[in-house]
Amino acid sequence: MVFQLNFKSGKAVYLQLVDQVKVAAACGAVQPGEPLPAIRPLAEELRVNRNTVAKAYAELESQGIIETVVGKGCFVRPTNSPFKKDVRRKLLAETIDAAVVHAHHLQIGKDEFLRLADERFDALEHKRARAALS
Amino acid sequence: MVFQLNFKSGKAVYLQLVDQVKVAAACGAVQPGEPLPAIRPLAEELRVNRNTVAKAYAELESQGIIETVVGKGCFVRPTNSPFKKDVRRKLLAETIDAAVVHAHHLQIGKDEFLRLADERFDALEHKRARAALS
Amino acid sequence: MVFQLNFKSGKAVYLQLVDQVKVAAACGAVQPGEPLPAIRPLAEELRVNRNTVAKAYAELESQGIIETVVGKGCFVRPTNSPFKKDVRRKLLAETIDAAVVHAHHLQIGKDEFLRLADERFDALEHKRARAALS
Amino acid sequence: MVFQLNFKSGKAVYLQLVDQVKVAAACGAVQPGEPLPAIRPLAEELRVNRNTVAKAYAELESQGIIETVVGKGCFVRPTNSPFKKDVRRKLLAETIDAAVVHAHHLQIGKDEFLRLADERFDALEHKRARAALS
DNA sequence: GTGGTCTAGACCACC
DNA sequence: GTGGTCTAGACCACG
């Protein structure tokens, strides 16, 4: 799993985690039965207190998204309402709209925006590739 | 100008206002030089405290989006980011990173992401063009 | 760190704090990475409301002088203005204009003004050099 | 008289006016018996409401700095404690110190600072020369 | 009427 | 413990 936290967004960090796991689970990016990262190393990677990650996992469990097995870890449960393709596109469109508005105020045009997006997408792939090796 | 606040989203109310004003400015719904709604009546309309609206406007002023003149009101400024080019790129990169991770969780690949971004960028331009006419 | 507030100067208290922190940072009295006093105890010491100190710190953060980490505190950042060169020049020009008018009212001419400025600039550098050693 | 107002300093505009007249009067920049600018044109020049200038003049009269003759204007009264040279230098040094700190945070060095000061001083002279002609 | 400052006190997220 | 948000209400400067 790859997470992206924004400490200045004004949204609680644990809720950002919750949202990201929910989306990933609803789309099959993490398959049912797959384990989520363990709390301690994830907290370290995200530079966040363990309590914060634990709170996010607790929230996910109370929402029935994941299942915690004490001593083993947290596992994704099967989704009963996976997102359809058009729902996924619409969700992403909202996020992209926000980015486009941000670009406008920073006076960054479409060409450079797309170049940056391409670049950051590749960066994510490299990050995942490196993570897969270790 | 119509604003929609979500008191349960976990995101600070004043930041929701900030974002919505930025969107309105970006798509030309409010043109440079035009005034924003006055603080007191807007606070009443949105059922929030006057200080909350004032905080949003103060944030917008510190971001250079609006200019406030005591005794007169708050006015939209023309887009003209004071930041260095590399700073602007870096600021936008953070937003794009979040969108890229979102796309990954939504199981949407780079090609479709870029197509969507291109599309949303054009949509914003069209809105601005239409708004400039009226 | 010792702060002196003047409640009768007609200048907003939180802005007095902002200026004093900026002076302390500029002359090396607080080094990059060092924490500022915590909000609550400082407010008590200065006999002002906690919100007033918080507002000062928020302003310092928005100016890029400090970084605040929730749950940890507020820390001085290394000097690195994000503004374009011409914006920086223009911002400083306004301050210098005020000083020039002040000099004119004080019947102090250009030569002496420049000599004084040279002298005060060196004084700041010396303070910074001494502070860097300890 | 040349005035320099800062609408964002957090200090009341009328107090900025008061301070500037007081300094000029205490240093002989305006001689006893000389008239201050009339309220209406000054307000226009400074882009300020007439009430604001009137309030400043009222404050100056209550402090005994000026004398208002209805229908004629406001005149500077003789000072009984004019600033000595060292006092004037010290007062200006404080203002310059603030400008130097500002320059530091904008990462503008001594050379450029002095160049800017030289330039702004000349600009003030030209402004006064133009004003004297009309 | 406009926006700005300050206080007092409650609740929340994070360490 | 840290900082952040929001409310309610008072007072001020400016137009």
Indicate if CB(C9) is under 7 A from strand F. Answer: no
**pLDDT of A79 over the 90 cut:** no
pTM: 0.95
Q: What is the pLDDT of residue A117?
A: 97
Q: What is the pLDDT of residue D81?
A: 83
Q: Give contacts of B59 with chain C, Cβ < 8 Å.
A: 62
Question: If you write DSSP's letter for every residue of A24-83 in order, what string do you get?
Answer: HHHHTSS-TTPBPPPHHHHHHHHT--HHHHHHHHHHHHHTTSEEEETTTEEEEPPPSSPP
Distance C47 CA to F9 C1' (A): 20
For tokens 């010396």, name the residue: C126
Q: Which residue has the higher pLDDT, B56 or C133?
A: B56
**pLDDT of A133 over the 80 cut:** no
Indicate if CB(D24) is under 7 A from strand F. Answer: no
**pLDDT of A128 over the 90 cut:** no
Dist CA A48 CA A45 (whole Å): 8
What are the start-end ranges of the H helices in chain C? 13-26, 39-46, 50-62, 85-105, 110-133
CB-contacts to strand E (7 A): A 12-15, 48-49, 51-52, 55; B 10, 36, 38-41, 51, 54, 57-58, 61, 68-74; C 12-15, 47-52, 55, 69-72; D 10
**pLDDT of A131 over the 80 cut:** no
> CB–CB of B7/A85 below 8 Å?
no
> CB–CB of C28/C132 below 8 Å?
yes
Question: How confident is residue D131, by pLDDT bands cut at 50, 70 and 90?
Answer: confident
Instruction: Give the tens place of pLDDT for each residue, D77-129.
Output: 998 888 999 999 999 999 999 999 999 999 999 999 999 999 999 999 998 88
Q: Helices H, strands E: what count in chain D?
A: 5, 2
Q: What is the pLDDT of residue D82?
A: 85
Indicate if CB(C58) is under 7 A from strand F. Answer: yes
Instruction: Give the tens place of pLDDT for each residue, D59-76.
Output: 999 999 999 998 899 999
A9 touches chain B (CB under 8 A): yes
The rounded percent of chain D whose pLDDT value lies above 70 is: 99
Question: 27-66 in B: which are within 8 Å (CB) of A?
Answer: 27, 63, 65
Q: Is C69 helix (H, G, I), strand (E, B) or coil?
A: strand
Burial of A120 (0-12, 13-18, 19+ CB in 10 A): buried
> CB–CB of A99/B92 below 8 Å?
yes
The rounded percent of chain B whose pLDDT value lies above 70 is: 100
Verify whether the Cβ–Cβ distance B87 to C87 is below 8 Å.
no
Average pLDDT taken over every residue of chain B = 96
Question: How confident is residue C91, by pLDDT bands cut at 50, 70 and 90?
Answer: very high
Question: 94-113 in C: which are within 8 Å (CB) of D?
Answer: 94-108, 110, 112-113
For residue C62, give how far its alpha carbon lies from the nearest alpha carbon of chain B (Å): 7
Give the mean pLDDT of A40-69.
95
Task: State the sign of the Cα–Cα–Cα–Cα dihedral A128, A130, A131, A133.
Answer: positive
Q: What is the pLDDT of residue C15?
A: 98
Q: What is the pLDDT of residue A94?
A: 97
Instruction: Give the tens place of pLDDT for each residue, C34-83.
Output: 999 999 999 999 999 999 999 999 999 999 999 999 999 999 999 999 99
Chains D and C touch (3+ CB pairs under 8 A): yes
Residue whose CA is minimally distant from E5 C1' = C12
Dist CA C75 CA C35 (whole Å): 4
Other Cβ atoms less than 10 A from the Cβ of C13: the count is 19
- Structure-block tokens of residue B84: 């260095």
**pLDDT of C132 over the 80 cut:** yes
Instruction: Give the tens place of pLDDT for each residue, A93-117.
Output: 999 999 999 999 999 999 999 999 9
